[in-house]
Chains A and B, each alone.
Chain A
Amino acid sequence: MKSQLISALRLTLAMMVLCCVLYPALVWAVAQAVPGQGAGVQVSRNGHVVGFANVGQKFDKPEYFNSRPSAADYHADASSGSNKGPSNPEYLAVVKARLDTFLVQNPGVKAADVPAELLTASGSGLDPHLSPQGALVQVPRVARARKLAAGRVRALVREQVEAGTLGPDQVNVLKLNLALDALGSNK
């Protein structure tokens, strides 16, 4: 028994060197060669970091394409889903209220054109994407708020759609809104 314990201790130490020092060091070394050097891919504008490409951020002003509802309120150090069950009456009331708000902020849009993703919280609370329809349904509002032609904004969304080979088509909200700001400044 005593010799077993000593063997266990010594083997544990050896394994710790292998799994907790050598292995992460190797992954870290490879990470130095990829974009972002393993610190996450940052997005900058005019020399200022304005976000991470893969981390969603809050857009709730009318002149921006709004990101999805978030249980974490887009705090990127406290990711969280809503964990609301599908039959929870309070939750369903919140979804209904989100729909009503959306219809008021986007006059002329019918409920049938609003994709459910704009009314439901994402898993991480940091979803960086919208579906193409989730962005397109916001085009009239954004165009009106920016006094741009709707066709121009719609074309911009179409440019920003990343078609999934096997996965869903998606639009990165941060990149879309940066492109939108750029569009406004060179008119």
Chain B
Amino acid sequence: MNKEILGILLIFGSTVLLAIPLGRYLATVYRGDTSWTDFLAPFERLLFRIGGIDANRGMTWQQHLVALLTINLVWFIWAMFVLCTQGSLPLNPDHNPSMTPDQAFNTAISFLVNCNLQHYSGESGVTYFSQVFCLMFLQFVTAATGLAACVVVFNALREGTTEKLGNFYNYFVKSITRILLPLSLAVALVLVFQGTPMNWAAKAPIVTVQGDSVSVSRGPAAALIGIKQIGTNGGGFFGVNSAHPLENPTYLTNAVENGAIILIPIAMALAFGYYLGRPKLGWMVFGVMTAGYLLLQVPTVALEMHGNPAIGHLGVDQSLGSMEGKEIRLGAPASALWAITTTVTSNGSVNAMHDSLTPLSGMNTLLGMMTNAFYGGVGVGFLNFFVFIIVAVFISGLMVGRTPEFLGKKIEAREMKIAIVIALLHPLLILTGTALSAHLYASNPTEYAGWLANPSYHGFSEMLYEFTSSAANNGSGFEGLGDNTPWWNISTGVVLLLARYLPIIGPVAIAGLLARKKYIPESAGTLRVDTATFGVMVFFVIWIIAALAFFPALALGPLAEHFTLY
């Protein structure tokens, strides 16, 4: 067992070590400084020419948002078209059918917002054409959208006063050519060498050793899995995602995929500091995020290694930990590592079934999504964190009796209103959705009997998890939930939309407003934001706003279940 603890320490440690140079590199690329990937510049100019785009034109924050939302609308229409007609499109050797409109709506939205909630099963619910030209395409471009929005905020926080915050298309294109594509390719190649399929043939019919006839699903999986992890998308090729032995065949692929989940989110926190020429600021953000992450990660590893006490009562050997929903080649510690890293980021791919986690581990995965800022999704994780920084600056300012300032800009009523609305939107969406569902279920349990695979407290957790995952744009699930029904497809679809675009629009608007303000040089009276003290302040703001709001709901679900078992 000790070897497996060492294994997860190495996975996390080496990812952080890789994220440091990557953070520097991200800052260099987005600032437009000379970097070794400049050989791609002619190619990028070609892309701009095809798009008819002047990549040097500075845009205001409003122009950024118009560009972002317009191109997102194009992608949504494309995705709906592909998913509703996939049965008649090419690259469908298994003859899978087209989606129903409500399922297509949910899937299109869910991939458009970088969530990848999947109310279908990859083997039978989509075609290879959909996987590649719709889902994988969205995995690239939505990750790049998040990164570009984040850089707009970085830009606004530079010294001086400005209206122009760089060019959206420039950041968007470079995010793909210089960051997402090369990293995805690296992950995909490791997978291919370890046995993950990358072919276009239909299912392979075989007769097993015992004489059973089965069909083995395959397809262009390796390419999709690369960007699924790097872009914190999380939508798997096969139904059970990275628990599938073809999607995640060995301990090595597991280590690489798991590192890929948190690599860019960590690097982006550090890039914030490097971009502004204040590396300590990046380390402050990284420190707060890591503290929150470890607080969820450590107990989860311990609980999963300890096993399920109800099974322990049978007197069997549980030395490998809780094994329901887990794979032998990965083991309990690496599954616990993945469960938390995938939920603190908005990734949502799984290598073990979260529905079968022990209750408090399940709660920790929920908390990872409820805070949604301990690393967070590519780009958007930092945007969420930025909102909490603004709130913390304001509260700190009030505590010491000075005008709240962040990096030389006054935080005033307008910015605060936006920040608070965004911070409270998250609990509002999750708790309202869960309450409505619980009400529907409680008023007619026979009608909705298909919803819940587990009774009692755990059934409530399944509904809570679905809305939390949607609002956090995470995409993992307590998959026992029978979620391919109009209610779940449409309600979570709406939550997904609101929870993606408002938390992008809000921080970009705050940043745009701040950038216009007069720059006040730092003095002895300035609140220092790159210190541990301020870090502690941000940490508590996150816990008070994000975690405590959910305490009553958590008490009804995972906490109650825990006390029935232990």
**B192 pairs with A27, CB closer than 8 A:** yes
Residues in A neighbouring B240, C-beta threshold 8 A? 79-81, 123-125
Q: Are B320 and A85 in contact (CB under 8 A)?
A: no
**How does the 8 Å CB contact mask read for A18-35 relative to B, with 1 for contact and 0 for none?**
111001101110110011
Kindly supply a per-residue 1/0 record for chain A positions 120-151, scoring 1 wherever the CB is within 8 Å of any chain B CB and 0 otherwise: 11111111111101100000000000000000
Nearest chain A CB to B482 CB, angstrom units: 10
Q: Which of the segments B103-111, B280-288, B306-314 contacts the partner chain? A: B306-314
Confirm or deny: B315 has a beta carbon within 8 angstroms of a beta carbon on chain A.
yes
Q: Which residues on A sit within 8 Å (CB–CB) of B192?
A: 27, 30-31, 34, 38
Q: Is B291 an interface residue (CB 8 A)?
A: no
With A9-B74, A30-B192 in contact, is A74–B315 under 8 Å at CB? Answer: no
B65-73, B409-417, B428-436 - the one binding chain A: B65-73
Do A127 and B308 have beta carbons less than 8 Å apart?
Answer: no
Which of A6, A56, A114, A120 is in CB contact (< 8 Å) with B324? A120
Q: In the complex, which range does the number of interface residues on chain B fall in?
A: 35 or more
Least CB separation from B192: chain A residue? A31
Contact B195 A40 (CB under 8 A): yes
B245 touches A55 (CB 8 A): yes
Interface residues on A, range: 35 or more
Q: State the CA gap A62–B387 with chains docked (Å).
A: 61
- Separation of A13 and B165 alpha carbons in the complex (Å): 26
- A–B complex contacts, Cβ < 8 Å, 26 sampled: A1-B66, A6-B52, A7-B169, A11-B47, A11-B71, A14-B51, A15-B173, A18-B176, A40-B204, A50-B206, A54-B245, A59-B209, A78-B239, A83-B454, A83-B480, A87-B310, A113-B317, A115-B316, A116-B311, A116-B320, A121-B324, A123-B351, A126-B244, A134-B328, A166-B6, A167-B334
Taking Cβ atoms with an 8 Å cutoff, the residues of B that contact A are 3-4, 6-7, 10, 47, 50-53, 66-67, 70-71, 73-75, 78, 94, 121, 123-124, 132-133, 136-137, 140-141, 169, 173, 176-177, 181, 184-185, 188-189, 192-193, 195, 197-201, 203-204, 206-210, 212, 214-218, 220, 222-223, 226-227, 238-240, 243-246, 249-251, 254-255, 307-308, 310-311, 314-320, 322-331, 334-335, 350-353, 355-359, 453-458, 461, 478-480, 561, 564-565
Other contacts beyond A27-B222, A167-B329: 6, CB < 8 A? A11-B47, A15-B173, A24-B132, A45-B209, A77-B214, A116-B316
Closest A-B pairs by Cβ, 4 of them: A167-B251, A123-B243, A166-B7, A83-B480
